A and B are shown apart, each in its own frame.
Chain A
Amino acid sequence: MNQRIRTLSSAGLAVLAAAVLTFALWSAINHPVRADESDMQDYASPLEVLLSPDGARLYVLCQQSEEVRVLDATSFAVIKNIAVGRVPRGFSLSHDGARLFVANSWDDTLSVIDTSTLAVVATWPVGAEPSSVVEDRAAKRLFVANRISSNVAVLDAQTGAEEKRLSAGRGASYLTLSPDGSRIYATHIYPNPPRVRTDLDNRTAPESEITVIDASRAVVVDRMPLHAIAGVFHLALSGDGRLGVVAEYHPKNLVPLAHLEHGGAFADTLTLFGADVGKPVEVPLDELERYASQPFGVAIAPDKSRIYITCGGSEMVTVVDVLRLLRFIHTRSGPYTQDLSASANYVVTRIPVGLNPRGLTISRDGHRLFVANRLDDTISVIDTHTNRVASIITLAGPSTILPRTLNEKDFNVASSAVEGQITCTNCHIDGRKQSQYAPTPRDLAKLIDAHKSYLAESLVSTGPKHISTLRRGEQAFYTSRYSFQGQIGCATCHIDSTFDGLTWDLEPDGFGRDIVDNRPIEDLKGTEPFKWNGGNPNLPTECGPRTEKYFWRSENYDSRTLTDLATYVRSLPSRPNRWRLPHGELTPAQERGQAFFVRSVDKFGKPIPETNRCSYCHSGPKGTDQKSFDVGTRKSTDNSGLLDTPQLSNIALTAPYLHDGSARTLEEIWTIYNPDDKHGRTNDLTKDELNDLIEYLRTR
Chain B
Amino acid sequence: MKKICMIAMLLAVGTLALAAPPKMPLYRFENFTAANGLPDNHVYSVLVDGDRIWAGTENGLAVYENHAWKTYTTKDGLAHRAVLSLALDKRTGDVWAGTMGGLSRVSGGRIDSYTQLNSGLSNDVVYGVSVEGENVWVATAAGACRLNLRTDQWTLYNERNTPMFEIWVYGVSATPSKVYFAVWGSGLLEYDQKTGRWDKYDDPDGETEMVLFKDQGLIHEITTSVSYVDNIVWVATYFGDCRYDGRQWHNFLTKDSGLPSNFTNTVKGVDANHAWFGTDKGLAYYDGVNWAVYTPSLKDGKPEMTVRDAQGKVTPVAVTTAPAHNYILGIDFQGDDIWVATAKGLSHGIRLK
Contacts and interface: CB of A to CB of B under 8 A. Distances in A.
Do A and B interact with each other, yes or no? yes
Interface of A: 127, 149, 163-167, 192-193, 195-197, 209, 211-212, 217, 219-223, 579, 589, 664-665, 667-668, 671-672, 686-688, 690-691, 694-695
B94 A167 contact: yes
B20 interface: no
A687 B119 CA distance: 10
A333 to B, nearest CB: 26
Interface string B133-162: 010000000100000011111111010110
Contact of A688 (B77, B92, B93, B158): B158
A691 B93 contact: no
Interface stretch (B9-17, B101-109, B211-219, B313-321): B101-109
Interface string B95-113: 0000000000101111111
Contacts of B22: none
Nearest 9 Cβ contacts at the A-B interface = A220-B108, A195-B77, A219-B93, A688-B156, A671-B117, A164-B91, A691-B120, A223-B108, A665-B118
B328 to A, nearest CB: 31
A222 B108 contact: yes
A667 B156 contact: no
A149 B150 CA distance: 8
A166 B151 CA distance: 14
A193 B115 CA distance: 14
Interface string B152-180: 11111010110000000000000000000
B135 to A, nearest CB: 13
B110 A163 contact: no
B116 A687 contact: yes
Contacts of A668: 117-118
Given A671-B116, A672-B117, A220 B107 contact: yes
Contacts of A195: 76-77, 111, 113
Given A668-B117, A672-B117, A687 B108 contact: no
Given A668-B118, A672-B117, A691 B109 contact: no
A163 B108 contact: no
B93 A165 contact: no
B23 to A, nearest CB: 38
B122 interface: yes
A164 B111 CA distance: 19
A212 B153 CA distance: 26
B164 to A, nearest CB: 13
Contact of B119 (A163, A196, A665): A665
Interface string B276-318: 0000000000000000000000000000000000000000000
Contacts of A193: 112
A223 B94 CA distance: 13
A220 B92 contact: yes
Nearest to B93: A219
Contact of B110 (A209, A686, A691): A209
28 contacts: A127-B150, A163-B91, A164-B134, A165-B92, A165-B134, A165-B149, A166-B107, A167-B92, A195-B76, A196-B77, A211-B108, A217-B93, A220-B93, A220-B94, A223-B108, A223-B109, A223-B110, A589-B155, A667-B119, A672-B117, A686-B160, A687-B116, A687-B142, A687-B156, A688-B161, A691-B120, A691-B155, A694-B120
B121 to A, nearest CB: 8
A221 B158 contact: no
Contacts of A589: 153, 155
A219 B95 CA distance: 12
A691 B118 contact: no
A222 B108 CA distance: 5
Given A164-B92, A165-B134, A193-B112, 10 more contacts: A164-B134, A195-B113, A219-B92, A219-B93, A220-B93, A221-B108, A665-B119, A667-B119, A667-B120, A695-B153
Contacts of B77: 195-196
Nearest to B94: A167
Contacts of A196: 77
Contacts of B149: 165
A621 B343 CA distance: 57
Nearest to B91: A164
Given A220-B108, A687-B156, A166 B117 contact: no
B217 to A, nearest CB: 30
A195 B76 CA distance: 8
A363 B257 CA distance: 75
Contacts of B155: 589, 691
B113 A664 contact: no
A695 B153 CA distance: 7
A554 to B, nearest CB: 40
A506 B154 CA distance: 37
A664 B94 contact: no
Residue of A195, A197, A668, A695 ringed by the most chain B CB atoms within 10 A: A195
Given A223-B108, A664-B118, A687-B142, A166 B92 contact: yes
Interface string B64-108: 000000000000110000000000000111100000000001011
Nearest to A192: B110
Nearest to A579: B151
Nearest to A163: B91
Interface in B224-241: none
A166 to B, nearest CB: 6
A671 B117 CA distance: 5
Contacts of B109: 222-223
Contacts of A695: 153
Contacts of A672: 117
Contacts of A222: 108-109
B31 to A, nearest CB: 30
Contacts of B93: 217, 219-220
B242 to A, nearest CB: 30
B150 A165 contact: yes
A165 B105 CA distance: 14
Contacts of A691: 120, 154-156
Nearest to A695: B153
A671 B118 contact: yes
B203 to A, nearest CB: 28
Contacts of B112: 167, 193
